[in-house]
Structure 1
Amino acid sequence: MAPLSRFMTLGSSSLLLFPLLFLMLAGDSWQAPHNPLSVQVQCLESHLVVSVQKDLFGTGKLAKTEDLSLGPKDCKPSALPEDVPLVIFEVGLHECGSVVQVTPDELIYHTSLFYRPHPIGSILRTNQAEVPIECHYPRWGNVSSRAIQPTWVPFKFTIASEKKLDFSLRLMNDDWTSESTSTGFQLGDTAHLQAEVHTGSHVALRLFVDSCVATLSPDKNSEPRYDIVDFHGCLVDSLSDSSSTFRAPRPKPDTLQFTVDVFHFVNDSRKLVYITCHLGVTAADQAPNHINKACSFNKSTNSWFPVEGPPDICRCCNTKDCGSPNQSRGLFPISANPWRRAAPFQQQQIGEADITVGPVFLAMNISHHTPQEPNPDFVEKYAALSLGLSLIAVLVFTLVIMALALLFRKHNSAS
């Protein structure tokens, strides 16, 4: 039983969740998938993503999307084009009739993926299948005998111990008014991405996108990979032949929007792309600097410019030396107060998270020439013209033969 998804946490001071994935195959009356990788699950902070290969049994026969459902409530998958070899379910942990089991050490969410093929006429050629799915979240608790601390404990410590930051990364529609209902793109399109942090009742925070990488799997370290944002907020994709840019001004300090021109990996037939971004926050009143910035490249001026702050904070985007990749942005500094130094989680990078959006489907737009039906009037005129030209050609040929015959006779008479 090994974890198949990255570390995430839920917003609670007494409960931390580490998602682990367990897959169990059903009993004798159900056919089990031949390839265990045909069903993959990501157990995330508040929801799970189930990716199902249509070639579920490895036989070459593709399952129909309408034959697959999730949970006792038969939740339907996300909408994807029919030629995509995957079926994607993205649901909340408590949705689709899932059951939660509480043990002394874990929270366990139970659900199942169902394959129920519909008969063709009166015959059925494929067995049904069920893949039970469990997401295990170990429970951690911290108990202290210290007295209640005074109310003047600053926000920077409170947020570190309560851990209520909720990060998100979403695909938006073209006018940024709502989340996009489609994840399908074609080359030449522009993807609109919006990163946010929800702080509840806490004071204002300013969000930054440290880095973003595009990959062909949810693993941000997989190959091939393409860096979109790097060096603590430099949108390096804007250096290429693209119009990718951070959008200024921000709609809110806790929101950052940017566009990316759609692309694909050369020499790879896969059409699904995942974008993983490392997000972080500072206090809203903290001035932007070379670590906390959002910089795009302006080709007309051949220079970098920030969403906010002085232009010189983007200067390190040219040198590619904006601090180490893991350098903390300093939202939760270690205090000189010994009580705060001993506080749990104080030295963890609590104001940062990796968030993945995807899979994004790329449709390769191949144009096919379809011959058009000829215009009937044009056909009729063309036929008449062809007939006329044919008659003229026959007449000319006949006259030439007759002329040659007369010349031949005259020549014979003269001789």
Structure 2
Amino acid sequence: MSVLVAVMLFLVPAVAVNEDIEVDCGHTEVTVRWSDPRSQVEPSLLLLGTCSPNSLYDGKAVFHVNLEDCNFRRMVTGDQLSFLNDLTYIYDPAFSQPVVCAYERPSDWFPPLYTPTFNTYGYSNLAFQMRLMNADFTGPALSSAYPLGSIIPIMAAVYQSSHQPLLLLMEECFAAMTPQLQPDGPVYPIITNKGCLVDSKTTNSRFQLRARTSEMHLSLQAFKFALGEDVYIHCKLVAWDPEGLDSSKKACHFVKGHGWELLDDPARSNLCRCCDSHCMTRSKRGLASGLGIMKNTVLGPLTIIDGSTP
């Protein structure tokens, strides 16, 4: 942090990278504004490094972040100290554009000593997201209101930079009426017991086949909880070793007339048998290898409406 304090005395004014992006470099932070009314880009799906937009309005995305966050890279060349990142969009049309804040290098600043760390997987460069999607999961939802009994398509994803491929799991999910879970507040259980989609036992909710290991598609049937009110989906997402599935790290849904089924390998559905009792933690393999990375994520608000009411 002391490095950034020294830098703030050598501030460079705002720089317009191109017609679509405006970069405003502050003392220890940067504001990036993206706008292109001609494009088909969904602004909410943009990423600045590993960070999502702080605000969205009129088709524009605004990021206001600290230069120590979002995986900014620091580079020193001669008398200049630069912080570099990329504004990316991974959907069609995919693109990546550089974001740079350059400062005059303070005379008393020297780069920190480098101590190499040999870790194949690491913990950085990961960004977790949850999104409401359209019916076939090809783009963002056009509405956040769902009639009772309809399907709510939800995508969860972990975006990775240089990591070995990770498996995304939804360890638990609850619906609540507030963006922060309240100790005594009402909740509706969706996924519990370390990856069991308990809602699928009594509804048509189910996991869809994966397009990639780093994503999960959940078709959630709209429920009666908090009809007409704001609803928030609280989930614990886990990036895990694809080879480390066990009864405590899995994705299971209930198939009518068949029973519990493991999403990623139905032949190993015996891992789901504990979904009707209690699934114990049996393996720490993923944590030992650096892949047991968890993130609490909130999606919402969305509204479930009574379709029978005019």
TM bracket (short chain): 0.5 to 0.7
| 4+ runs deviating over 2 angstroms | 44-49, 90-94, 100-103, 144-150, 327-332, 362-368
**What is the match of residue 234 of structure 2?**
276
Scaled by the length of structure 2, what TM-score is found? 0.61
TM-score (norm 1): 0.47
- Cα pair distance change 1:358/1:91, threshold 3 Å: farther
Q: CA deviation at 1:239?
A: 1.5
Matched, 1:253 2:213: yes
- Checking the alignment, whether the CA contact within 8 Å between 1:274 and 1:359 is kept in structure 2 is yes
Conserved 8 A contact 2:227-2:305: no
Report the CA distance between 1:262 and its aligned residue.
Answer: 0.4
Confirm or deny: 8 A CA contact 2:169 2:237 kept in the other structure: yes
Look up the SS of the partner of 2:217 in the other structure: strand
**Secondary structure at the residue paired with 2:238?**
strand
Letter in 2 for 1:245: R
Which structure exhibits the higher relative contact order, with contacts defined as CA atoms closer than 8 Å and separated by 6 or more residues?
Answer: 2
What pairs up with 1:250-329 in 2 under 5 angstroms?
250-265=210-225, 270-284=228-242, 286-301=243-258, 303-309=259-265, 310-319=268-277, 321-323=278-280
SS in 2 for 1:288: coil
Residue 173 of structure 1 corresponds to 134
Distance 1:232 1:329 in 2: 14
Q: How do residues 124-139 of structure 1 correspond to structure 2 at under 5 angstroms?
A: none
1:149–1:101 Cα change, 3 Å: closer
Partners of 1:282 and 1:329 within 8 A in 2: no
Deviation of 1:247 after TM superposition, in Å, equals 1.2
Aligned length: 218
Instruction: Give the counterpart of 2:178 among 217, 226, 236.
Output: 217
Q: Which has the larger radius of gyration?
A: 1
Question: Hey, what does 2:288 align to over in structure 1?
Answer: 333
Q: Take 1:194 and 1:93, find their aligned partners in 2: how far apart are those partners?
A: 22
The equivalent residue for 1:375 is none
Could you list the per-position Cα deviations for residues 274-322 of structure 1 after superposition, in whole angstroms to 9, with x for gaps in the alignment?
00110001133x1421122100012212x21101231111011011x21
In structure 2, relative to structure 1, the CA distance for the partners of 1:281 and 1:350 (3 Å cut) is closer
> Could you tell me whether the CA contact under 8 Å between 1:282 and 1:330 is conserved in 2?
no
Which structure 1 residue ranges, 5 or more long, are not aligned?
A: 1-16, 18-43, 50-69, 79-89, 95-99, 104-143, 335-345, 369-415
Counterpart residue identity of residue 254, structure 1: S
Matched, 1:148 2:115: yes
Q: 1: CA distance between counterparts of 2:112 and 2:244?
A: 38
- The CA RMSD over aligned residues, in Å, is 3.3
Q: CA deviation at 1:182?
A: 1.3
Letter in 1 for 2:257: S
Equivalent position SS for 2:288: coil
Report the counterpart of residue 232 of structure 1 in structure 2.
194
What corresponds to 1:195 in structure 2?
A: 156
Q: What SS does the corresponding residue of 2:200 show, helix, strand or coil?
A: helix
1:102 and 1:247 map into 2 onto residues whose CA distance is 38
Q: How far is the alpha carbon of 1:176 from its aligned partner?
A: 1.2
In percent, how many aligned pairs have the same letter?
A: 26
Paired AA for residue 211 in structure 2: P
Please identify which structure carries the higher helix content.
1
Provide the residue aligned with 1:64 in structure 2. none
1:348-372 deviation per Cα after TM superposition (whole angstroms, max 9, x unaligned):
x97110111100022333445xxxx
